[in-house]
Amino acid sequence: MEFPGELGDSLRASSEYIVFESQIPSVDFRYYAPSGHCRVYKDHEGSNRVIALTDEIRKSLLDIAAISGRLGW
């Protein structure tokens, strides 16, 4: 599925900063700050697959950061 316009550009460039309204309560502050560089989209602008994917991307990045921290990198 392709997303045209700003949403598609943002998904390709920095998908970890794409937040859909239903995700706001669970998004780590590193990836969601209302005054930061994330974009909040209405749920109907994305599909369930994209919403789940952005959650998984952030989770993976947080896991990598935690592992790196434990290893002292």
Domains of the chain, by residue range, sit at 5-68
pLDDT at 64: 95
pLDDT at 62: 94
Q: What is the pTM of this model?
A: 0.76
First to last CA, the chain: 37
pLDDT at 65: 92
Sequence length of the chain is: 73
Q: Which residues contact 48 (CB under 8 A, 6 or more apart)?
A: none
pLDDT at 35: 63
Give, for all 73 residues of the chain, the pLDDT tens digit.
677 788 888 888 888 888 999 998 998 888 887 666 678 888 888 888 888 999 999 999 999 999 998 888 7
* Pick from 30, 38, 35, 28: nearest CA to 7: 38
